[in-house]
Amino acid sequence: MRYISTRGQAPVRDFAGVLLAGLAEDGGLFVPEAWPVVTPADWRSLRGLPYPRLAARVLQRFVGDSIPFDTLCAICAEAYAKFDHPAIVPLVQLETGLFVQELFHGPTLAFKDMAMQVLGRLFDHILRTRDARVTIVGATSGDTGSAALEACAGRDRIDIVILHPHERTSAVQRRQMTTVTASNVANIAVEGTFDDCQDMVKAMFADAPFREEMRLSAVNSINWARIAAQVPYYVAAALALGAPDREVAFAVPTGNFGNVLAAWAARRMGLPVARLIVGSNRNDILARFLESNDMSIATVEPSLSPSMDIQVSSNFERVLFELLDRDPVATTETMRGFRQTGRMAVPEAVWKRARAVFHGFRLDDPGTEAEIRRLHAATGYLADPHTAIGVAAARARPPAQPVATVAMATAHPAKFPEAIARATGLHPALPPRLAGLFEREERFTVLPNDLSAVQAQVRALVGRNRG
């Protein structure tokens, strides 16, 4: 299995190379050179498998011969062993034709664990076989950071530095990061937005000497391995609802476009997915794009669903590349123009192709609270604000044919107690694994939105640990 960059100027790599590199050297994102094709018989052969086994089988399509299948099975078994639900990714029916798939039963209570628990172990395996080490840098609007830290803390071939926007994450989200105190971990609170943090990570990768010296690697959703590890739960949901003989639709609360891209990838591999509904909060650049071909950057506004407070959805570049018939020159030009002008010029025909699959949906904070309340009153189900947007999106944009729609439940309601309390009067308890979170000591450094200050901090951590 080989991977190319969306911008066409980076060397072709195998899965292990893509995992370690994260972002391609030309600023593009890695995508499979050719998409794996899965036949209906292949899909059927996955029916009824325990989730870790199914995940290994689907992942194998992307891993190729980078990792032996037995090792991959062991990695998946271990990754999901600590999850709090025997089904790992249970489907819950809310009403006729409407389901949620709960992706939050991992150690940090958000869907990022689904991929990150696999990724930490993939890194371990590959670094050991190569006798190498890496420095992982990542930007997070909340959940990626804690999931990455949980997956990497204490692993002796990895240093990890996570940037989060100062005072723009929930208290639970921040504490899940800043109370991880392993010696290979540093948390930096940047005085800026999530997009500033993400730009900073990109700038560190673009600084070739720094990248080389630190052996930088990324685990945010630009890393292809993250996307690959998110494909299996779409497969599991679709199979449970009758695929490959029946179509399904997915509604995905979206920020950086990684989760919904995994659904798109499953569709591209032949899973019968009728449509993908992209849920947004008031930061609605994707909804505006899908509604009226208006992909223009506005300022990021904090919302009840902070993991979706994003204007530039990095992973969109991967879909853009496909929509542009995999033309790296056109992709590069479109992304450059977007950077320079804050507006993406997408030809009408290309936009229409996007609309054939993706549908946009937006819900502001009052609407999100109302949906949490409505859903709880109607069904007894408690949804966190991100999940509530997914459920509302699924209800607002039902497919024309009767097709089951699955809303992705991306976070546990206890991660967002204030919103739940305001909407329902209930105070969801933190699950036992997070008990004591508010008593633990926090450790993080607040830095200005300044590249050299952040680079100095990364150097300090790495210098200490490489000794």
Identify residues 73-102 at the interface with ligand PLP (CB under 6 A). Answer: none
Shortest spacing between CB 373 and ligand PLP, in angstroms: 19
CB atoms within 10 A of CB 40: 13
74-87: string of b/e by CB count within 10 Å (b at 16+)? ebbeebbeebeeee
Site string for ligand PLP, 188-227 (x = CB under 6 A): ---------------------------------x------
253 binds ligand PLP (CB under 6 A): yes
Smallest distance, ligand PLP to C-beta of residue 257, A: 5
Residues with Cβ within 8 Å of residue 14, at least 6 apart in sequence: 1, 2, 3, 64, 65, 66
Nearer to ligand PLP, 67 or 304 (CB): 304
- C-alpha angle 70/74/76, rounded to 5°? 115
415 is catalytic: no
> Helix-strand-coil percent breakdown of the chain, rounded to 5?
50, 15, 35
Q: Does 184 bind ligand PLP (CB under 6 A)?
A: no
Task: Work out how close the CB of 259 gets to ligand PLP at its nearest, in angstroms, rounded to a whole number.
Answer: 4
Scan residues 390-429 and list those touching ligand PLP (CB under 6 A). Answer: 410-411
CB of 417 to ligand PLP, least distance (A): 14
Can the peptide bond before residue 244 be classed as cis, meaning omega within 30 degrees of 0?
yes
* Residue 386 binds ligand PLP, judged by CB under 6 A: yes
Token pair in block for residue 63: 């891993």
Nearer to ligand PLP, 279 or 328 (CB): 279
When the beta carbons of 254 and 332 are compared against ligand PLP, the nearer one is 254
Which of 4, 18, 110, 238 forms a contact with ligand PLP (CB under 6 A)? 110
Q: Residue 226's closest CA among 253, 189, 261, 273?
A: 261
Nearest to 461, CA basis, from 449, 444, 448: 444
Q: Judged by CB under 6 A, does residue 143 bind ligand PLP? A: yes
Least separation in angstroms between CB 234 and ligand PLP: 13
Smallest gap, in angstroms, from Cβ of residue 256 to ligand PLP? 3
Counting residues that bind ligand PLP (by CB under 6 A) gives 17
Measured CA to CA, the distance from residue 330 to residue 60 in angstroms comes to: 31
For residue 444, give the amino acid letter.
Answer: F
Helix H segments across 241-302?
258-268, 285-292
**Contact code string over 288-307 relative to ligand PLP, x by CB under 6 A:** -------------------x
Three-state SS at 101: strand
Q: Which stretch binds ligand PLP (CB under 6 A): 104-112, 126-134, 321-329, 443-451?
A: 104-112
Quick one: 179 or 254, whose CB is closer to ligand PLP?
254
For residues 421 and 194, what is the distance between their CA atoms, to the nearest angstrom? 26
**CB-based contacts of 65-72 (< 8 A; 24+ apart in sequence):** 65/1, 65/14, 66/1, 66/14, 66/15, 66/16, 66/19, 66/126, 67/15, 67/16, 67/122, 67/125, 67/126, 71/125
Best CA proximity match to 408, nearest among 280, 275, 253: 253
Tokens encoding 435: 């008990």
Residue 254 CB, shortest distance to ligand PLP, in Å, is 4
258 in contact with ligand PLP (CB under 6 A): yes
Contacts of 311 (CB under 8 A, 6+ apart): 195, 283, 285, 297, 298, 299, 300
Which residue among 112, 202, 352, 415 is the active-site one?
112
Query: Least CB distance from residue 400 to ligand PLP, whole Å?
Result: 25
Choice between 5 and 280, CB closer to ligand PLP: 280
The CA dihedral of 122, 127, 130, 131, to the nearest 10 degrees, is -150
Nearer to ligand PLP, 101 or 455 (CB): 101
Residues in the chain: 467
Task: Catalogue the E-assigned strands of 17-170.
Answer: 30-32, 91-95, 98-102, 134-139, 158-165
Name the residues that contact ligand PLP, by CB under 6 A: 110-112, 143, 221, 253-259, 307-308, 386, 410-411
The residues assigned a catalytic role are: 112
